[in-house]
Amino acid sequence: MEPLPTLDEALRALGDVYVHSGPIEPPADERLIQLAERPRGTKALLFICTYGGLANVAYRMIRCLRHAYQDVTVVIAGPCKSAGTLLALGADELVMTGNAELGPLDVQILKENELIARQSGLAPSSTFDFLTQEACKAFQSAYLSMKFGGRLSSASAAETAARLTVGMFAPLFSQIDPIRVGETTMANLVAHKYALALLEHEGNQRSNTSPETIARLVTGYPAHDYVIDRQEARTLFNQVRAPNAQERVLIAKFSRVLASPSDKLLLERFGTPSTTDHANEDPGPTGEAAPTPTPVDGLPG
């Protein structure tokens, strides 16, 4: 086995390297836009670890990288859920370790009367659909029982079955807020639209199953925590591979923040620019020097 490259060698080979650990929420998008203002090449790698967040922010982040670089690779060594999956859809290539896991594309929304806690955007509509199915089953069962067991007429059996069903399910349906159901349905439609927009321009997905694959990511999994590992990801994404030697070096260096998301946003850019890189950089809009990448020791390893 060949020896692993040094940290500097890995950074020089990989291009501009970004590390994101934590929620995909403001100001993550503004932070990334600022960091990517002066790309040093045509290739970027985003190492990401997140439980998800806002679809709007994820879309802005990946679009920012797409505008700044010709090739964008997303590297995952831990959880990358919900809005993180949306972001990954816009990359040219997806790199996943054995511990990496994507998740369904169900947006996370604030729970009612909560400031921090979130729930899956599929929860309210899934609850409504489940109760509707159970109410239909209850009506059918009661009707058949009254019709054939009680020997009632069809009209009488239907009326009695309807009263029984309403009596059982009305208290449950009354606890569902229709506005809440509408809001969550719209939120998932927004995520769906963003995913299709990414794929239309530069997405990383099997072109022969685009609509079906997006639908599968949005509504085809039973829970937000469902694990999509590297093997299953290959059925969803066109380019999925294990990390190469250079990427393994950085995964090891930043293992702590890539294995488990930071409680607070952690987003930095890394590289090893030479003196000639600085000499050739264009000044910023106010005549200031372009921002330089953060030293590698800027993140815990």
DSSP one-letter string for 100-158: -EE---PPEEEPTT-SS-EEETTHHHHHHHHHHHHHHHHHHHHHHIIIIIS---HHHHH
270-278 long-range contacts, Cβ below 8 Å, gap at least 24? Answer: 270/11, 270/17, 270/18, 270/19, 270/294, 270/295, 270/296, 270/298, 270/299, 271/11, 271/15, 271/16, 271/17, 271/40, 272/8, 272/11, 272/12, 273/40, 277/40
The list of the chain residues with pLDDT below 50 reads: 114-116, 206-209, 274-290
In angstroms, rounded to a whole number, what is the distance separating the alpha carbons of residues 244 and 241?
9
Look up residue 216 and give its two tokens.
Answer: 């599968």
For residue 291, what are the contacts with CB-CB under 8 A and spacing of at least 6? 34, 35, 37, 38, 284
**CATH fold of the domain at 7-112+190-298:** 2-enoyl-CoA Hydratase; Chain A, domain 1 (3.90.226)
Structural contact between residues 139 and 91, judged by C-beta atoms closer than 8 angstroms: no
The torsion angles phi and psi of 52, rounded to 5 degrees, stand at 115, -160
Q: Which pLDDT does position 96 carry in this prediction?
A: 98
Give the pairing type, strands 266-270 and 16-21. antiparallel
Q: Which pLDDT does position 288 carry in this prediction?
A: 43
Segments of the chain assigned to CATH 3.90.226.10? 7-112+190-298
Residue 218 amino acid letter: V
* Separation in Å, CA 154 to CA 82, 88, 128, 140, 279: 49, 55, 28, 12, 88
Look up residue 177 and give its two tokens.
Answer: 């807020």
Q: Which pLDDT does position 39 carry in this prediction?
A: 93
Q: Which pLDDT does position 212 carry in this prediction?
A: 75
Q: Is the overall model pTM greater than 0.85, yes or no?
A: no
Identify the DSSP state of 209.
G
Q: Which pLDDT does position 255 carry in this prediction?
A: 95
Structural contact between residues 233 and 240, judged by C-beta atoms closer than 8 angstroms: yes
The shares of helix, strand and coil residues in the chain, as percent rounded to the nearest 5, are 50, 15, 35
Q: Is the dihedral of CA 89, 13, 101, 242 positive or negative?
A: positive
Q: Which pLDDT does position 107 carry in this prediction?
A: 61
Identify the DSSP state of 19.
E
Q: Is the dihedral of CA 230, 76, 221, 208 positive or negative?
A: negative
Residue 28 amino acid letter: A
The torsion angles phi and psi of 91, rounded to 5 degrees, stand at -85, 160
Q: Which pLDDT does position 163 carry in this prediction?
A: 92
In angstroms, rounded to a whole number, what is the distance separating the alpha carbons of residues 174 and 111?
18
Give the pairing type, strands 71-80 and 108-110. unpaired
